[in-house]
Amino acid sequence: MDLPSSGKGILFVISGPSGVGKTSIIRSVLERVENVVFSISCTTRKQRPGEIHGMDYFFVSHQEFESMINENKFIEWAKVHDNYYGTPANFVFDHINNGIDVILDIDVQGALNVKKNLTGGKFVFVAPPSYQTLSERLRRRGTESEEKIQKRLDTAKKELSCIPEFEYLIINEDLEHSIMNLISIIYAERLRYERQKETERVKRLLLEVQ
């Protein structure tokens, strides 16, 4: 399926290993950039302290998640570290069709599935400055057991090898810098002539000089 290249919203798929800082970057970008929304995923994972149902995730049971898969309600879904995560399709397509950009925060296998099924998405990989930094960050977060952290690090190694499949790469060394980088990507994509050519302003301007 092709996403619209002009006159509609843009789909930004932000991916990278867990613990790399994607969520913090995205949160700030949403506060600073107009006309962009965050796609709230469904997950079967347990709610962490401080997380809000319907804001961070829709926390659902395995049974509910499976029904949603069978009803084709996801653009993509994946099993990440023993839990299921999925991107609800309606929300994404409704916003894109209404000219509003959508940001997904999903794991690497999910992002590669979106890339396979939807042309026109913009794919951004967020990487740690080094593998060592990622390991330290995951431990500092303190939300997972040592065994789970080890599992996440093994997955991260495989995920980092997928960097070349992405169009954009942000190395998250400094949060503020990474926020500015993601904002730059969003504005650069919005400023493409291809994106603007159907707007009244551009059509009028070109007519004036014919």
Q: Do 21 and 178 touch, CB atoms closer than 8 A?
A: yes
Tell which residue, 32, 37, 79, 4, has the closest CA to residue 184. Answer: 32
Query: Among residues 85, 123, 125, 166, which is the contact residue for ligand 5GP, using CB under 6 A?
Result: 85
Rounded to a whole number of angstroms, the minimum distance from the CB of residue 106 to ligand 5GP is 4
Residue range at the interface with ligand 5GP (CB under 6 A); choices 83-91, 115-123, 170-178, 184-192 = 83-91
- What angle separates helix 175-190 from helix 22-32, to the nearest 10 degrees? 60
Is position 190 an interface residue for ligand 5GP (rule: CB under 6 A)?
Answer: no
Q: Closer to ligand 5GP at the Cβ: 106 or 185?
A: 106
Residue in 38, 21, 20, 25 with CA at minimum distance from that of residue 183: 25
Which residue lies nearer to ligand 5GP by CB, 68 or 106? 106
Half-sphere exposure of residue 147: CA atoms within 13 angstroms, side-chain side:
1
Decide if residue 105 touches ligand 5GP (CB under 6 A).
yes
87 binds ligand 5GP (CB under 6 A): yes
Residue 103 touching ligand 5GP (CB under 6 A)? no
3-class SS of residue 12: strand
Give 56 or 189: the residue with its C-beta nearer to ligand 5GP.
56
φ/ψ (deg, to 5) at 55: -120, -55
End-to-end CA distance of the chain: 35
Q: Is 128 in the site for ligand 5GP (CB under 6 A)?
A: no
Residues forming contacts to ligand 5GP in the complex (CB under 6 A) are 18, 22, 41, 45, 76, 78, 80, 85-87, 105-107, 110
